[in-house]
A and B are shown apart, each in its own frame.
Chain A
Amino acid sequence: MNELDLKTVGVRGINSQLHGLAQDTNEKHWVIRNPMGQHNIACGVSAPLQIEIHGHVGFYCGGMNKDAELTVHGHAGVGTAENMMSGVVWVKGNSSESAGATGNGGLLVIDGDASSRCGISMKGIDIVVGGSVGHMSAFMGQRGNLVVCGDAGDALGDSIYEARLYVKGKVASLGADCIEKEMRIEHLADLERLLKAAKRREKPSEFRRYGSARKLYNFSVDHADAY
């Protein structure tokens, strides 16, 4: 196990150390101390490392992550795991706005609450939130799954494309072109896999599914005369 103290080496010191590791490195386990709410900690890591951060982090932690498994033992700021490609980012506390924004792949778990715009423009990432999400979550979500074990704020899934949304609690309101959809066997199986991966105890049958009515982004041949 290797330790990095942000107070000593700074954010650049931490990131350059992690970026310098090869895919097949033997130094796989890293512990980061004293994050002090600083931004961009462990961004752009592209090796299969296990990274543990002890304390609260600032914005964009784990952004662009590829292959690494990153755990934040604390709260996270804005844009956690934004544009993640693969791997796992796990926040033990709460996460601020735009968690998992534009994420392409991988798994983001937030044990606590996420704020507004969670999963905004998600492109294939899986997000599991143990608590609730704020307004405009999954806004323009294109692909991937957002699982919310608590409640969802206003305008859930506004202008959504093909992302799948599962909510156990109340939904304050649905956004434009977002509707409740039938929960089929394949969805229950998918949800079971995601809940298990996030170590959640909720049952898939307790959730409702939401997704795109596909009226906003599809061209309807009935409107051909309008052009």
Chain B
Amino acid sequence: MCGIVGLYLKNPKLKPKLGKMFKPMIIEMTNRGPDSAGVAVYRNPVNKAQTKFSLAHIDAGYDWKKIDVGLEKALKCDCTIKKIGNHCILVTTGKEASVVAWLKQHHPEVRVVGSGHTIEIFKETGLPANVYDKFDLDEAAGTHIIGHTRMATESAVTTAGSHPFATGADLCLVHNGSLSNHNRLRENLRREGIEFQTENDTEVAAAYMTWKLRSGATLKEALQDGLRDLDGFYTFLVGTADGFAVVRDPIACKHAVMAETDDWVAMATEYRAIAHLPGADTAKIWEPEPTTIYTWGGHA
């Protein structure tokens, strides 16, 4: 099972309503994935000299100030933090690799769930409606948002095993399906120096994309190669800095539907998630073809 949903706003006037428009979409997918939920929202871009991190800690009462102060002191950089639920959005002038290394050394209990200039990732166990409320996503304004409702099959129900998985700067992946060669692939990627936080199959797909992109592939090339190297059933939705991409395996038995109007583009596991959007009744609606990569917003 699992449900995936994505919404990309073509009409900039709708930006303030992004979170409100998306809420019924992800909640509609609750019975496809009641175990955990997550979203990646693209909003509030930082300037070129800055990096925005989404950080998570198991304890909602965690004192993020020590991260702020510690980083500023150690890396001689500027930091601002904003606590949202048990996550925190850290904006810093520190170098991305140095920040990650410092966190790993001094605060290994803090997990980096995403990074880039616009992306913010929030994910947690529990019903989608509760997760949505916990991170104030109703109020989210932005250009696009992707989400996932998880029914765990391959690995444990944990926050770390929830989607989306970051795959690089401003990139993330959500997945409906299961991969059958993730164990072997994980071993191969470990040899390439990629680190893993979970035993989850989707994390392997995300790591594979990260590795491909790091090696110089474009997103489209990475997805194309993934069709060859990832064995299993999947519909992937990839969030990018300025849009999203959709791809299905050759058998295409994991559902997917897309819809487009003059105002928005939406993707969902089932149409009922899209039905809540204004104008859905008269939208252009179609089913993505297997092994075909669909992209919105350029980038790929």
Contacts and interface: CB of A to CB of B under 8 A. Distances in A.
Interface of A: 36-39, 55-56, 58-59, 74-75, 77-78, 93-94, 96-97, 115-116, 134-135
Interface in B229-287: 252-253, 255, 257, 270-276, 280-281, 285-287
Contacts of B290: 116, 135
Contacts of B255: 77-78, 96-97
A56 B285 contact: yes
7 contacts: A36-B272, A36-B275, A37-B273, A56-B281, A74-B281, A97-B252, A116-B253
Given A37-B274, A134-B289, 6 more contacts: A37-B273, A39-B272, A75-B285, A93-B285, A97-B252, A116-B253
Contacts of B257: 77, 96
Nearest to B285: A75
Given A55-B281, A96-B255, A37 B287 contact: no
Contacts of A56: 271, 275, 280-281, 285
B270 A94 contact: no
Contacts of A39: 272
Contacts of B270: 37, 58-59, 77
Nearest to A117: B253
A94 B255 CA distance: 15
Interface of B: 252-253, 255, 257, 270-276, 280-281, 285-287, 289-290
A47 B299 CA distance: 54
A144 to B, nearest CB: 22
A153 to B, nearest CB: 9
B99 to A, nearest CB: 43
A75 B271 contact: yes
B257 to A, nearest CB: 7
The SS class assigned to the A binding surface is: loop
B152 to A, nearest CB: 22
A38 B272 CA distance: 6
A36 B274 CA distance: 9
B271 A116 contact: no
B104 to A, nearest CB: 44
A38 B289 CA distance: 23
B271 A37 contact: yes
A227 to B, nearest CB: 33
A58 B271 contact: yes
A36 B270 CA distance: 11
Contacts of A74: 281
Contacts of B252: 97, 116, 134-135
A94 B258 CA distance: 13
A36 to B, nearest CB: 4
Given A56-B285, A59-B270, A37 B253 contact: no
When A and B form their complex, which 4 residue pairs have the shortest distance between CB atoms, in order from nearest? A37-B272, A37-B271, A37-B275, A36-B275
A116 B274 CA distance: 21
* Among B252, B255, B271, B273, residue most surrounded by chain A Cβ atoms (within 10 Å): B271
Nearest to A75: B285
A59 B270 CA distance: 9
A39 B270 CA distance: 10
B190 to A, nearest CB: 35
Contacts of A36: 272, 275-276
